[in-house]
Amino acid sequence: MRFVDAHIHLSDSEYDGKIHEIIENARQVGVVAIVSNSMNLETSRLSLRLAERYTGLVYAALGIHPWNVNQLAPNELEQTIEFILQNGANNKNVVAIGEVGLDPQYAKRKEQKELQTKVFHEMLRLAEKLTLPVIVHSRWSAPKILEILPLYHLNTVLWHWFSSPADILPKIIG
């Protein structure tokens, strides 16, 4: 059997010093592709470096996770957008924009919600412009995400951390 790991955060610090072992274990059990999802500019850079180091096995998804929006450094959104534009177009190592989305757990105040929504829109614009799939974090936010996604011409959306009632699934699938 052959497997694809469509969602791992290889660029997380918890994997420091263990990446080669993780890659080798994955190969041994039949994993033929691994998508390293990013959380911010730093992990986007690291995910891309990992994809370049392990070409043909590891692929990068670049973006800003909703959990990281409140910790963005000044100009980090703009720098991340520029990094993705420079490295996402026509790069076989970059396969998606991700992990991006909405998560009300990390946006309690109005300005936090607005910033999280703004960042999500920016990431969707990049996906549309670069014609890349999107890996969407949707914890407790699927109805809102379903309102936003039709505003963009996106070919593929992979939903992650779906936690809404099951009756919304037909809208997501359909």
Edge-to-edge strands of the sheet including 58-62? Answer: 3-8, 31-37, 58-62, 94-101, 134-137, 157-160
Checking if the pLDDT of 154 tops 90, the result is yes
Checking if the pLDDT of 106 tops 80, the result is yes
Query: CATH number, domain at 20?
Result: 3.20.20.140
Longest CA pairwise span in the chain (Å): 48
| SS3 state of residue 134 | strand
Which range among 22-26, 99-103, 169-173 shows the weakest confidence by mean pLDDT? 169-173
CA distances from 118 to 77, 103, 162 (A): 10, 13, 21
Residue 174: band (very low, low, confident or very high) from pLDDT cuts 50, 70, 90: confident
- Pure H helices in the chain: 19-28, 41-53, 76-88, 110-130, 142-148, 169-173
pLDDT tens readout for residues 50-89: 999 999 999 999 999 999 999 999 999 999 999 999 999 9
pLDDT tens readout for residues 112-123: 999 999 999 999
10 Å CB burial of residue 119 (0-12, 13-18, 19+) is buried
The residues, any chain, with a CB within 8 Å of residue 160's CB and separated by 6 or more, are: 7, 98, 99, 101, 135, 136, 137, 138
> What is the pLDDT at residue 162?
87
Domain that holds residue 70: 3-173
Structure tokens at 12: 């997380």
> What is the pLDDT at residue 62?
98
When pLDDT is averaged across residues 15-21 and rounded to a whole number, the result is 95
| Count of domains forming the chain | 1
pLDDT tens readout for residues 3-13: 999 999 999 99
Write down the pTM of the prediction.
0.95
> What is the pLDDT at residue 173?
87
